[in-house]
Amino acid sequence: MSFPTPLVTRFAPSPTGLLHLGHAYSALFASAAVRSNGRFLLRIEDIDRGRCRPEFETALMEDLAWLGLEWERPPRRQSEHMDDYREAIGRLAARDLIYPCFCTRKEILAEIAGMGSAPHGPDGPLYPGTCRHLSGERRRRRLEEGDPFALRLDIRRAIAATGPLSWTDRGRGTVEAAPHIFGDVVLARKDTPASYHLAVSVDDHLQGVTLVCRGEDLFPSTHVHRLLQALLGLDTPEYHHHPLIAGEDGQRLAKRTHAPTLRSLREGGATPEDIRRRLGFSGPG
């Protein structure tokens, strides 16, 4: 007799502000995906210590509980797992797939301006690869001098190491991975052992996530996550990138478009059921 494998999904907010309706949609979407057969996890993405605040973490858990969501305790807090990310970086370094980049933002922009036409990726112009060509001696000297640096993935070597990759998206079917669109993406910095891309790939694996539900805005990032999974021997979950919901003015709901926070809606008298109905998730779960 065979039993269906339970789905494991997660909601992974960064505690940099109060949750708004867009977050509520994403959390409800993920929770609904596993309602009858699966586990719903919470991950606090607090690697960026400068922008994350404990009070926002407390607030987001209160808001999710108020909405009626239940997640497995305790949540995974990225700031408590820096060693996991360091270990992953160490493995990439051992295979010579990453290199330190000492360029400042200003230097990168100047270099790009001098190039005339520079290829662009989802986050803007691609890094021109300046530090990829530094000699071993020069690298060593700059590291010894204590210069700040970012660790970049040598995307060409990485792709050559894995060959073609794909993943399954519930909305789009089989997607061929195209990680080169990000160029030599940053995976860590001198004082931060992981970028978003690295931490998410490692965490989804370690948390046993089998279905990643998240907004369409993160769809391009999955190209890089798929590559990191292959390089690091991590499991590849299924994905479901959901459409982003728009406010009454048609604008995408986000912090910068002043989407209403769950807190303000609640203070204005909205009930959890009102929010669920407004977002199309009526009923328990």
Q: Does the footprint of ligand GLU cover residue 261 (CB under 6 A)?
A: no
User: Closest distance between ligand GLU and the C-beta of residue 271, in Å?
Assistant: 25
Residue 76 as a binder of ligand GLU (CB under 6 A): the answer is: no
Looking up tokens 């820096």, which residue turns up?
82
Listed in order, strand segments (DSSP E) in 120-224 are 120-121, 124-125, 150-153, 166-169, 173-176, 186-189, 211-215
| Residue 42 Cα distances to 33, 83, 86, 179, 241, angstroms | 14, 20, 22, 27, 17
Picking from 42, 35, 80, the residue whose alpha carbon sits closest to that of residue 58 is 42
Site string for ligand GLU, 92-111 (x = CB under 6 A): --------------------
Mark the segment that binds ligand GLU (CB under 6 A) among 11-19, 85-93, 153-161, 269-277.
11-19
Q: How far is the CB of 43 from ligand GLU (least distance, A)?
A: 8
Question: Minimum distance from CB of 217 to ligand GLU (Å)?
Answer: 8
Question: Could you tell me which residues come within 8 angstroms of residue 142 by beta carbon, excluding any fewer than 6 positions away?
Answer: 100, 102, 134, 149
Under the binding rule (CB under 6 A), the answer on residue 12 touching ligand GLU is yes
Span interacting with ligand GLU, options 10-18, 87-95, 109-117, 273-281, rule CB under 6 A: 10-18
Residue type for position 80: E
218 binds ligand GLU (CB under 6 A): yes
Cβ–Cβ under 8 Å, residues 49 and 86: no
**Which residue is associated with the tokens 């792709």?**
159
Name which of residues 143 to 202 contact ligand GLU (CB under 6 A).
Answer: 200
Among 7, 8, 9, 13, contact with ligand GLU (rule: CB under 6 A): 13
* C-beta closer to ligand GLU: residue 41 or 151: 41
Instruction: Assess 14 for contact with ligand GLU (CB under 6 A).
Output: yes
Query: Which of 81, 205, 214, 226 contacts ligand GLU by CB under 6 A?
Result: 214
Binding piece for ligand GLU, criterion CB under 6 A, among 6-14, 61-69, 157-165, 176-184:
6-14
Would you call 124 helix, strand, or coil by DSSP? strand
- Residue 45 found at the interface with ligand GLU (CB under 6 A): yes
Q: Does 229 bind ligand GLU (CB under 6 A)?
A: no
- Active-site residue, selected from the candidate residues 77, 170, 189, 255: 255
Cα–Cα distance, 40 to 193 (Å, whole number) = 27
Please give the Cα distance from 207 to 44 (Å, whole number): 12
Does 57 help bind ligand GLU (rule: CB under 6 A)? no
Q: Rounded CA gap, 225 and 196, in Å?
A: 10
190 part of the active site = no
CB atoms within 10 A of CB 171: 12
Residues near ligand GLU (CB under 6 A): 12-14, 45, 200, 214, 218
Active-site residue numbers? 255
